[in-house]
Amino acid sequence: MRIVLTCGGTAGHINPAIAVAQRLRELVPDCEILFIGAEGKMEMDLVPRDGFQILPLKVTNLSRGHHLEDIGHNLASLKNVIESGHEAKHILKEFHPDAALGTGGYVCYPVLHEAAKLHIPTLIHESNALPGLTTKMLANHVSCVMLGYQESARHYPGVRDLRITGTPVRGKFGLYTKEKAREELGIASDLPLVVSMWGSLGSGHMNDIIVKMLPLMKEQKDFCMIHATGSYYHGSVTEKLKTAGIQPAECLTELREYIFDSERVLSAADLVICRAGASTLSELSSTGKPALIVPSPNVTNNHQERNARLVERAGGARVMLEGEFDEEKFLEEIRTLLADSERLDRMSKAMRNLSVPDALDRIVDAVLEYAGKDSRSTRS
């Protein structure tokens, strides 16, 4: 059995695809898996780390602006789509997959569009509450559309095979108890832990808020924090704190570029402050962690706020929007939440109720079904 996986741009698209690949390899050890990603994007680094082959296509995003440079950029992107389609067709013909799955990112369009034209069974997973441009364009051409949220189904009229799967998480969530995780992280049992994470690349605005917030935390001893700057901002955040004479440890804060051990760190957390990427929310629901969410305003169709509001309506999160608070108000909100243990407990239960524990197997079973493999036999 041969499977093509395509994903691109952000960890939220890449990690679910890697989780599927790992599960396929467990169930069908002789399965051949090939990833196709966007040239120069983070999948070209992350996928090989997990031992999978990935081939690049030159795919660029679309600009929402109306200036001449935006128009020129979009024309170049259109040219790349056409050329990448030809390259995808060549790769698919040579690899001859039994099925192809996309988990998000512009690179999914040329790969799945060409796969469908070659009569290869094609599946796409949309983890956001609102369909992205790529999913919209492919929905009525692929064999199967899988969704992270039930309420998103109304956006897909006429789709032949529509399934609600949830969004899978990477790693062994549930492996850690809170006590074991805190012990391994060296966190005092009497201090609440706030985990601060803003996407794999990071957020300039939220890093600025945290940098300004840390001096306000210097004298407080009511909680500790692990803050992930994101790969793009780690150097600048470190330099700003150094210039200001702020040592994160003095503020009971550990500074990281990225949280690679998210299973352990999230298990130890009492509150998570974060963006509203679908994979982040899936990890939070898997661990039942209450969240203070600041959705990114810099995404297509404002889909992060839609994700965040869905979780807020369910009772699992408090949502604040950029521009509505400064570092003092943000710190006050964190403290208010931490001081209300009953509210945090209600939020935790509501967050866990959003979890789809078997999301990964639902997606893998669909892939195996379309690839002509009986998923039950792989588990016998």
Residue 104 · residue 12 · CB < 8 Å: yes
Residues 144 and 282 in one domain: no
* 262 is a domain residue: yes
**H-helix or E-strand spanning residue 2:** strand 2-6
Residues 230 and 141 in one domain: no
Residues 200 and 322 in one domain: yes
* 172 is a domain residue: no
The pair phi, psi for residue 289, each rounded to 5°, is: -100, 125
Residues 116 and 239 in one domain: no
Residue with tokens 């945290």: 210
Q: Which tokens belong to 177?
A: 């108890």
Residues 157 and 187 in one domain: no
pLDDT (0 to 100) of residue 260: 86
Question: In this predicted structure, which of 147-156, 185-194, 294-303, 332-341 has the lowest mean pLDDT?
Answer: 294-303
Distance between CA atoms of residues 159 and 143, nearest Å: 9
Q: Which CATH number covers residue 184?
A: 3.40.50.2000
* 302 is a domain residue: yes
Mean pLDDT of the chain: 90
* 317 is a domain residue: yes
Distance between CA atoms of residues 270 and 15, nearest Å: 24
Residue with tokens 């108890």: 177
Distance between CA atoms of residues 128 and 118, nearest Å: 28
Residues 137 and 182 in one domain: no
Distance linking the first and last C-alpha atoms of the chain: 18
How many independent structural domains does the chain possess?
Answer: 2
Distance between CA atoms of residues 124 and 146, nearest Å: 6
What is the average pLDDT across 97-120? 95
* 260 is a domain residue: yes
Q: Which tokens belong to 194?
A: 């706030």
pLDDT at 165 over 70: yes
Q: Which amino acid is at 211?
A: V
pLDDT (0 to 100) of residue 73: 46
Residues 154 and 182 in one domain: no
Residues 127 and 184 in one domain: no
What is the average pLDDT across 161-182? 88
pLDDT (0 to 100) of residue 99: 98
pLDDT (0 to 100) of residue 301: 72
What is the average pLDDT across 135-141? 92
What is the average pLDDT across 226-240? 94
Q: Which domain holds residue 127?
A: 2-167+357-378
What is the average pLDDT across 304-317? 95
Residues 251 and 348 in one domain: yes
Question: H-type helices in 122-275, by residue range?
Answer: 133-138, 178-185, 204-213, 234-244, 262-268
Strand order of the β-sheet with 2-6 is 53-57, 32-38, 2-6, 99-102, 122-126, 144-147, 162-164
Residues 249 and 113 in one domain: no
